[in-house]
Amino acid sequence: MAMFVLLFYFSLAPHVIPETYDITEGVASEKEIKAPFQIRDEKATRQAEEDAAAKIDPIYSIVPLSNATLVEQLFYRIEQLNLDDQVTTDNKVAIYRSEIPGKYDAHIDAFITANKGKGTFSDSLVQEMENVAKDQRYTIPEETFYKMPQLKSEQLSEMRSVAREIVRKLTLEPLREAETARTQVAELVNASTLSNRTEREIVQELARFAIMPNRFLDTDATDEAKALAKQNTQPVVFKEGDVIVKRGQTITPDLYKLLSDSNLLQDKTSYWPQAGLLILSLMAVIVLFVYLHQSGGFGGLRPKYSNTQLLMLLLIFLINIITIQIIALIQTDSVPYAGYLAPAALGAMLITLLLDMHLAIISSFIFTIMGSIILNPASNTLFDFKYGFFVIVVSLAAIFSIHRASQRSAILKAGIMVSLFGALSVMAVLLMTEQLERMPFIYSVSFAFASGLLTAVLVIGLMPFFEITFGILSALKLVELSNPNHPLLRKLLTETPGTYHHSVMVGNLSEAAAEAIGADGLLCRVGSYYHDIGKTKRPNYFIENQSNMENPHDTIDPKLSKSIIVAHARDGVEMLKGHNIPKPIRDIAEQHHGTTSLKFFYHKAAKQAEEQGIVPTFTEDDFRYPGPKAQSKEAAVVGIADCVEAAVRSLRNPTVEHVEAMIAKIIKSRLDDNQYNECDLTLKELDKIAQSLKESIIGIFHSRIEYPEDVKTKE
């Protein structure tokens, strides 16, 4: 379990924890430093923002100041005062001199009062307008005031119309400098209908006076535009893999600060990512540990998973992670979809075939977390849900496609299912996220499909390695071993046909009985085929092979007979080792008799001693198999089926009652003899085994079993 923690931590560390460097400010760097993730250059970004803001021209806004209204006010006052005969000419001149200049400021103040705080114009714009307009106030010449009292109402009416039109025309366009428009007044007046020289001079001055600037610098709008330009400026970044510092480059204060802010300096290292990764690794291992413990992996007389099997599980995790890491190396920003090529279902498929389907499901979720981190092409996020979803889909598809596999070709079929579901999962994600660019879409789906085929090829190549290295007996290996053309089975068939037939019958019985109690039926069947292989060394000493010949045991000492009979278990184990048959099958061959007694030869020896009038120097224990007792349910089931098949065959006319009684007697005898003390069989399971054996034997010997008939009582 500690090794699992280390595997998870160090396989994810390069993708979570950035590398740190020991550098000093002002000293040339000994290494080339690349960005482990996207790093923002704050100083360069701020400079880029300032440059973008500097490129923004000042924004000017148009403020219509109603110049025509001012013209009306001026002529109205002149006309009103000229009609007053009670005021002398000198007084009129004095009034014009004092009132007319003030109307300019009064007009501006009235406009400000009407618009300030109303939201139409910003306060800064109104203030700018007041300052600029008053600074550009026009000063009417003194002699003009002396000419005004002479004007009649008719003249003023014509002059008003001309002045208003000139002012309107010159203020239609944006006007930053009023003097620019004022220079054009004389030309427009001379082109008007006014013929009197005095009238033209007065209109010129009043028009110049009424013209004001209408285009003003909008400080708020300018600042807002500059702020928006800064906001829209793309940050200056070092992309993942970009060189930040070249080898031999002097570390400037700015570079040092950049590396320090990015936690790339050893003395500035943040240990939070390491702590988080360690917690994540521990959580993954805890999930694995709790499942293994609750499934009987570490408890009980014989743990479900030994250290060897856990080491194999660790190796499967390592291989699966390495294949994903290799694909991650060819995954770039330009081809992020290359991650879908990863054979992510490799681990789940191997665990299903070699260990357990439910363990594979638990492991799939761990592979999903790791795949979404390792295959994540983005540096600003920890997980990429697209790849995580792909990993869990292909893993579950592999598990449910392969868990009942009995032939090597099933692996290829499962690979095709993985390809189909992987392609569909990628297609679904891309369609939901609307990433529908043609070529990336095609490549992503194609890579996902190729992933399943690559997974199948790797599994087919790795299966023999695990089976040989760890002595794992997978379902595929069992099916291969059950092939009648196997050298040992061919030897059994040709040299001991009776034993071969017996072994096949025991295989049928034990498989059904094992499946009734949830044990490995296929292992029982194949183990039954090989359990008596040791009889091929001395085939004539076993009754099923004695056809048309005398029984050699009739002429030899019972002790010698016992030695020959019990030797077949040991001989069988040696022969199986010589042919590299996996240990579970060797265990069945060695343990199927346990330490049971050869009562026939014991009683024969005791009878001979009695006839010779000597005291026996032996006990019943001297006529027992050396064992060991059955260490697994499968070995116990094969042992029961072996004994039951031989016993039922010895019955001349077996009936249902005889068969049932025989099975019960055999099981009870072995139970009383403590033959099941070292395996996990329960009394309930023994009842199920007895029921299954009875049903199987009835099916096999149905033509020989005579069912009792009810006899009617005569009246």
pLDDT digits (tens, 9 = 90+) for 190-229: 888 888 888 888 888 888 888 888 888 888 888 888 889 8
Query: Is the pLDDT at 300 greater than 80, yes or no?
Result: no
Least confident of 344-348, 406-410, 514-518, 701-705: 701-705
pLDDT value of position 37: 67
What is the tens place of the pLDDT at every residue in 138-192? 888 888 888 888 888 888 888 889 888 988 888 888 888 888 888 888 888 888 8
Query: Is the pLDDT at 310 greater than 70, yes or no?
Result: yes
Distance from C-alpha of 322 to C-alpha of 415, rounded to nearest angstrom = 19
Domains detected in the chain:
29-41+236-267 (no CATH), 60-217 (no CATH), 272-472 (1.10.1760), 482-700 (1.10.3210)
Residue 302: band (very low, low, confident or very high) from pLDDT cuts 50, 70, 90? low
**Residue predicted with more confidence, 250 or 441:** 441
Beta strands in 77-224 (DSSP E): 215-217
Query: Is the pLDDT at 283 greater than 70, yes or no?
Result: yes
Element containing residue 209 per DSSP (H, E) = helix 197-210
What is the tens place of the pLDDT at every residue in 109-141? 888 887 776 667 777 788 888 888 888 888 888
pLDDT, mean of residues 496-504 = 91
Residue 356: band (very low, low, confident or very high) from pLDDT cuts 50, 70, 90? confident
The two most distant CA atoms of the chain are separated, in Å, by: 180
Residue 574: band (very low, low, confident or very high) from pLDDT cuts 50, 70, 90? very high
Distance from C-alpha of 322 to C-alpha of 64, rounded to nearest angstrom = 74
pLDDT, mean of residues 338-344 = 91
pLDDT value of position 543: 82
Write the DSSP string, 211-251.
Answer: ----EEE-HHHHHHHHHHHHHHSPPPEE-TT-EEE-TT-B-
Mean pLDDT of the residues in the chain: 86
Residue 509: band (very low, low, confident or very high) from pLDDT cuts 50, 70, 90? very high
Query: Is the pLDDT at 434 greater than 80, yes or no?
Result: no
Q: Kindly report whether the peptide bond that precedes residue 464 is cis, defined as omega within 30 degrees of 0.
A: no
pLDDT value of position 446: 93
Long-range CB contacts for residues 1-8, cutoff 8 Å, separation at least 24: 1/285, 1/288, 1/289, 3/314, 4/284, 4/285, 4/288, 4/314, 4/317, 5/278, 5/281, 5/282, 5/285, 7/314, 7/317, 7/318, 7/321, 8/280, 8/281, 8/284, 8/285, 8/366, 8/370
Q: Percentage of the chain surpassing pLDDT 90? A: 32
Element containing residue 60 per DSSP (H, E) = strand 60-62
Judging by beta carbons within 10 Å of its beta carbon (0-12, 13-18, 19+), is residue 637 exposed, middle or buried?
Answer: buried
Query: Is the pLDDT at 268 greater than 80, yes or no?
Result: no
Q: Percentage of the chain surpassing pLDDT 70? A: 94
Q: Is the dihedral of CA 231, 236, 238, 244 positive or negative?
A: negative
Question: Strand, helix or coil at 34?
Answer: strand
Element containing residue 454 per DSSP (H, E) = helix 438-469
Structure token pair of residue 431:
């369609």
Name 501's Cβ contacts closer than 8 Å, sequence gap at least 6: 544
What is the tens place of the pLDDT at every residue in 89-98? 888 888 888 8
What is the tens place of the pLDDT at every residue in 580-624? 888 889 999 999 999 999 888 888 888 888 888 888 888 888 889
**Residue predicted with more confidence, 106 or 303:** 106
Least confident of 75-79, 253-257, 480-484, 516-520: 253-257
pLDDT value of position 244: 79
Judging by beta carbons within 10 Å of its beta carbon (0-12, 13-18, 19+), is residue 173 exposed, middle or buried?
Answer: exposed
pLDDT value of position 709: 54
pLDDT value of position 270: 66
pLDDT value of position 321: 95
pLDDT value of position 125: 80
Q: How far is the CA of 4 from the CAs of 85, 258, 278, in angstroms?
A: 114, 36, 12
Distance from C-alpha of 293 to C-alpha of 613, rounded to nearest angstrom = 61
pLDDT value of position 554: 80
pLDDT value of position 298: 62
Residue 558: band (very low, low, confident or very high) from pLDDT cuts 50, 70, 90? confident
